[in-house]
Each structure stands twice: as C-alpha cells, then as structure tokens.
Amino acid sequence: MTRRSTSVTIHDVARQAGVSVATVSRFINQNSPVSDDVAERIRRVMADLGYSPHATARQLATRKTRSIGLLLTSMHNDFFAPLLSGIENVVSQKGYNVLVATYSRELRQEYLPPIGPHNTDGILVFADSLEEEQIRKFQQRKFPQVLIHRSSPAGLNIPSVTVENKAATRKMIDHLIEVHHKKQILFMRGPIRQEDSYWREMGYKASLETHGIAYDEALILNGGFEREIAQDAILSYVSNGSKPFDAVFAGDDDAAIGVLTALKEIGKLVPADVAVAGFDDLRLTPYLDPPLTTVRAPTEDVGIMAAHQLFNLIEECPVDAVTLLPTEIILRRSCGCPNGTHHS
C-alpha cells in the first residue's frame, strides 16, 4: 500500500534509494548532475512512496541549508577573486558554504535564478545580476539578500555595500588635467545599467565642468569593464578618424588592460603620447607595462562587509542600510607619475 506523501520525508526516500539526502535534493532541484541509474532509482522510490517534490520544496524552505549564494553576471574578470575571498572568509568562519552562480540577462526570460530560497539561506546580489522584479519577489518572501555595488530599489531598504566612485574618479580626472595638462580625455563606460559606471561618469563630468572643459559625447566610448571590448573600442575609434585624445580613463582596470594593448598596437606610447588610468587596483596592475595609475577600491572588504550584513539578516540582527567604503588614488607611470605615489 502506498504511503501518504505528507508522512514521507526526503530522508525516507534517501534511505530506501540507498543514497544521501544531498543526492535526492540534487535530483529534485536539478542543480547538479546525478547519474542515470541513481536518478532512476530515486524516481522509482519516490513513486513507490507517493513522495511529492512540491512537499519537499515547502520543507526545504523552512530548513537551514547552511549555504549562502553569490549571484554574478559573469566571472570573466580578475576583479572577482578578492571579492570572493572576502566573502569566503566570513562564510567559513560561520560554518557555512558559499554557492557561486552566474545569471546572464539572456537566460532570465527563460530560467529562474540558479540560487535562491530553494538552495541557500540568503543571497548576495552583485550589481545587475538580478532584475528588480526578482529582487522584489525575494523581499516579499522575506528571503535575506544583500546588494553589492547596487542601491536598493525604492521602498525596499535592502542593505547594500559599495565603494565611493564619483569623488575618486573626479580626483583622478583632476589629476590628469592639473598635473599632466590633459584636455582631451576619453572616458570608457562600463555596462550601461551598472551604478559604478554611472557614478564614475558623473565624477568625470564634474571634473570637466570645474576646469571649464566642455563635455563631449564623442569622447565617451563603451568599454564594458572588459579588456576585449575596451581594446576593440579604442581600435575602432582611431580607425574611424575620430577626435584626437591625450588621455583615457578606462572605467576599470580590466578595460585599462585592453586600452594599453590597443594603444601599443597603433603605435601610441604610454604615457608620452597618451596617459591611461583605471579603477579597482587589481593585483596585476603594478606589473603592467607601464604600471597602471588607478583608483584603489577595497574589493575584499566589500565582500567581507556584504557577508557580515547577510548573516545579520539571517540571524535577525540589526543591519546597515548602506555601507560605502572609501577609495584612494594610486599614481604610477601610466599617467606620467613616478611609481608608488599615493594620493588620497
């Protein structure tokens, strides 16, 4: 006689199928592969016991997974290593695991987020890796979430952790204008919907205005915060016979690497012909040729603070609505300065 599904647990299925509870969970949630023979065995036991995956989902929703999630748009950038290191540092101290997943915009119409209430106790959302509608849905379910490099949608008061973008970029552009006498400065935008990119452009505009230099949309290129996109953007700009330029603010360090590569390809010397500056201070920037002038962002600290805020939510402790971490200017040879100069 088939048992009623309400009396059957995931442990019953695992025991009868001769597998672990984690394996049954992976099979139900389809978030990790299970061999065909094991899948068939679990399927047969679930049918014999009258076990409903939907009941499982309700049970899992109230049970601690001892995992938190980090959702990214991609992992193609060296930027993410220190961020993940900071998060992992806090998570391991708490005795939790961290699940990392990417969720590109192309997949969002067809698939639900790969991490969420079904497999984690809370989630860290990087920049624009979730649409606002999904963030609101998570909030309605009281699912703990913290935003990284992104402000909370209006009225939700979700904790956010980010770095100071506008003032640092303004200081960098001030430096290029006042110390190195640059006046035709290309600005490489990041992804269009990224707040970091927006505030860096605001800093660029503010500096130009202060120095009486007209903002020129022709000097704004899409660098995408990626080296290949930035490299192609510079090569395309030059091949189209566009306006001359004497400096590039590359949006971030990954884009700056693409800019340096492109300038070398077209025979421009850095910094003699063109000054270059980035943002983030990735670990490799002192070793580039020439070493890169950049804004040092405390990326590992962002990960640490975001993870702490998420655990505060999970443990129902007080949280800070906004955590804004300071940045500083690091002057190296790519702008024309000697190496190792700090400018706060």
Distance CA 294, CA 79 (A): 14
pLDDT of 56 strictly over 60: no
Of 64-73, 82-91, 107-116, 151-160, the range with the lowest mean pLDDT is 107-116
Whole-number average pLDDT of the chain: 90
Q: DSSP strand E in the chain: where?
A: 67-72, 97-102, 123-126, 145-148, 160-163, 185-189, 220-222, 247-249, 275-277, 294-296, 322-325, 328-331, 341-343
pLDDT of 45 strictly over 60: yes
* Structural domains of the chain, with CATH: 67-163+299-325 (3.40.50.2300), 166-298+329-343 (3.40.50.2300)
**pLDDT over 90 percentage in the chain:** 72
pLDDT of 228 strictly over 90: yes
- pLDDT (average), residues 165-190: 97
pLDDT in the model for residue 58: 46
Q: What is the pTM of this model?
A: 0.80
How would residue 186 be classed by pLDDT, with cut points 50, 70 and 90? Answer: very high
Instruction: For residue 147, give the nearest of 281, 287, 307 by alpha carbon.
Output: 307
Given its phi and psi angles, is residue 157 left (phi above 0), alpha (psi -120 to 50 degrees) or beta? left
pLDDT of 30 strictly over 80: no
